[in-house]
Structure 1
């Protein structure tokens, strides 16, 4: 993943220019002087020393590899110009190609609709040849399969890019009336044309695939026999990517685009769904514009344009205040109160290092504190809800009373009795409170509950050479360096009287 690093650093323009020199030729094997000359010819001159630094850093990131070709030079000057040669790594070539595609993604790309018809014709012809006596020759089948998959992949790629752009445009809230009409008339009509072409060619492609499917394994075997490709490298550690259409998995993906198998949905179904979503977005924008014009509401477009004019006319300080007020982009400061008494961080603690704070949904999504949800209606009966709450509270008290009785019965045998879940929970509660109390005497911490119903006390005494183990059905609690003693307050009162 370090091959992507040069796209994120401040000097990325230099690195991209150098990488384009290498991707512009096949098997490029260049030195810093040669790269600098090519950059100068392209109108982007850079010093040789700077180019050498960029090349060495790209090599460290894995985008380039040092060339293993021996340097042959007749003079010292020629040797200095030729030494330190580099070539593209596979990862660097892929990263640069994808980055160039991403940088050009702000434009809309036409869908190669005519390729779908060629795919249908190619599959039909291949099916007819494969079903003839003797089948189709392996070399002929290889050319036809490669052509079919190249056309299909080009078509699918152009469809994905077009619908990605269409979804981006239709979800914009800053479209004016003129832009909206242009996008409605051009883009949606174009999307409808694509959908109609796919619907017309899909039955032909399905029929061709159904006829070709039984003889497909034999067809692939003939292609492999006619052209081994790089399959001989399969015995080594080199991973091979076969050409499209050479593997049965490629044909399954092609079939899955036109035929729904396994209930996962086909590419044709996804295309219809995408067109429907585009229409819904169009209707949403239309309703917004109608409300803005008919009811006098202010659109986001007008708000953004007004804000842009204010920011353009303001100085730096006023521009920061405007953006902060409009979008809530205030400075990041750690203020107390979000966690109450549990917040131990200072105002200088960075949020990158501190634990996150739960933000209510109303503030996080809508930016206000107004309560949401159902409002109590007049005359609504809450009798059953009160009964459920009372029953839950009664069960909790009965559980605590049973646990207290079990603890009292185990007084003096705390390290031998196996407590139930209720008793062990109450024991942990008493232990936590006892350890939080100030010592009543040196080396001792004593806590007695003020609950008149339980009247249970726990004494914790520090003894460095003692270890107490409290057993329960859910596990054991080991207390090192102390002893515990349970007693009933009734016993203490009787003894005192």
Structure 2
């Protein structure tokens, strides 16, 4: 909503409370900032999608008041999400490690709950439960808000002014009647409505700026929606001009009933347990000043609504100017697209490659680098704050100085032949290959299911499974089939709604949606 201090209006730069939150953020030291930035570490990992869906599963459980969950609960929630979304990954046996990594980043808390152990063996093992931390849940919601943002959602809420006027009139009546709860309700509703209005307006103007700056690449999209865009902004300005005098009078009517009494009654009905009475009064006083600054002009500054009206009028002028520019460019036939096409044609018709490079360098003002740089042998002796002028020089190779290329390692040294070592390596390779072939035959004869595979069979199975997954085919966004070959054994992935499982010495490998069929080249054995 912005802020009003000593009767002056601070122009809003984002959603309600942005100025206050910015002030609080500036009070944090570098250690606290770095500690909170750790909450977003999961977005920088290679498998960030798995972490995101694990947090979504915990949020799904949190919505049904299951605050503390274990790995089985998260896995069950992921399975439920997989029924609704096709892109839910399978974390497998590494789910506990992923949750522990999130706990190390402090986005969730890890606690020990021995009451979940049903046997002595499970009691001896670690019985961890996880729950969102307060800051971690805010970080997760921030990531979800960024992922859910859509340009199509940007709009100006012109219908909100009638609701604000009704709430101001009801607030004045409640303050005259001495109804504390009604005063609190109306002030809270005004705060929420103003937050939504400012958030929408800020989102709309930011989105409009992006559209205006990106129309050179897609003028057809802009011309398609220009009429709806201009009508939307014109209607908003007309509604704002119609309601602004009424809102000014309504704010002054509320002030006539006594602002101090109003704020005291709102603070009395406020049931926030972590704020004292004086703090609640001061908080509501700040909100009322901000609300007043939105609709009532100060002696030396205009109101926030007038500022918003001026920004919207300026945006309309910018859209009309851009529309005129696009129309003239289409009429004259010269725009950025035509210029780039002519440049491409000139470059293609140049006599040689050097002339093409010279033309492109002149067109885009690109020049070759005229300096060389490198790292000092002992970088710790050089301060990171030292400028290039103050830092000591380093030795540069003559090849790099003359040609700009790094010096090569020189001619390769002759390879020393060791016949005995090569023969030993060959024997070990033959033995390993024979063991793999025997394991493959055993796997083909005994099948992959309904038994526990040994180490050699597990390695062969994983190699076949990797090749089958690499050769899989996708039809209409779903995996249909795949096959992998290892010597005389062929593995096929057969779609199966029940799925399958393979028991290995290290655990159970689950294959949801598929079963394995092992076939030899001479015949077939189903597994």
Normalised TM-score (structure 2): 0.53
Matched, 1:75 2:119: yes
Matched, 1:336 2:371: yes
Change (3 A) 1:9 1:69: same
| Distance (whole Å) between structure 1 residues aligned to residue 123 and residue 158 of structure 2 | 54
Alpha-carbon offset, residue 269 of structure 1 = 2.6
Matched, 1:14 2:50: yes
Matched, 1:34 2:68: no
Aligned equivalent of 1:216, options 237, 259, 275: 259
Equivalent residues in 2 for 1:1-150 (5 A)?
Answer: 1=36, 2-24=38-60, 25-26=62-63, 28-43=67-82, 44-67=88-111, 71-75=115-119, 83-109=127-153, 110-131=155-176, 135-150=177-192
Matched, 1:152 2:164: no
Change (3 A) 1:326 1:219: farther
The farther-off stretch of 70-79 and 217-226 is 70-79
The answer to whether the Cα contact below 8 Å between 2:116 and 2:127 also exists between their aligned partners in 1 is no
Q: Deviations over 1:233-260 (max 9, x none)?
A: 659xxxx9969x9611011111122223
Q: Deviations over 1:258-314 (max 9, x none)?
A: 22336454322332232233234324423432443333323248849998xx9xxxx
The answer to whether the Cα contact below 8 Å between 1:21 and 1:35 also exists between their aligned partners in 2 is yes
Equivalent residues in 2 for 1:5-404 (5 A)?
Answer: 5-24=41-60, 25-26=62-63, 28-43=67-82, 44-67=88-111, 71-75=115-119, 83-109=127-153, 110-131=155-176, 135-174=177-216, 176=218, 178-214=220-256, 215-231=258-274, 234=276, 247-261=284-298, 263-300=300-337, 303=340, 335-336=370-371, 345-346=373-374, 355=387
The answer to whether the Cα contact below 8 Å between 2:108 and 2:132 also exists between their aligned partners in 1 is yes
SS at match of 2:174: helix
| Distance (whole Å) between structure 2 residues aligned to residue 225 and residue 50 of structure 1 | 51
Number of matched residues?
326
Change (3 A) 1:257 1:174: same
SS at match of 2:131: strand
The answer to whether the Cα contact below 8 Å between 1:32 and 1:48 also exists between their aligned partners in 2 is no
**Over aligned residue pairs, what C-alpha RMSD do you find?**
4.1
SS at match of 2:230: helix
The answer to whether the Cα contact below 8 Å between 2:251 and 2:292 also exists between their aligned partners in 1 is yes
SS at match of 2:188: helix
The gaps in structure 2 that reach 5 residues or longer are 1-35, 83-87, 348-356, 390-527
Change (3 A) 1:80 1:251: farther
| Distance (whole Å) between structure 2 residues aligned to residue 85 and residue 151 of structure 1 | 39
The gaps in structure 1 that reach 5 residues or longer are 311-320, 338-344, 358-497
| Distance (whole Å) between structure 1 residues aligned to residue 48 and residue 157 of structure 2 | 33
Change (3 A) 1:224 1:49: same
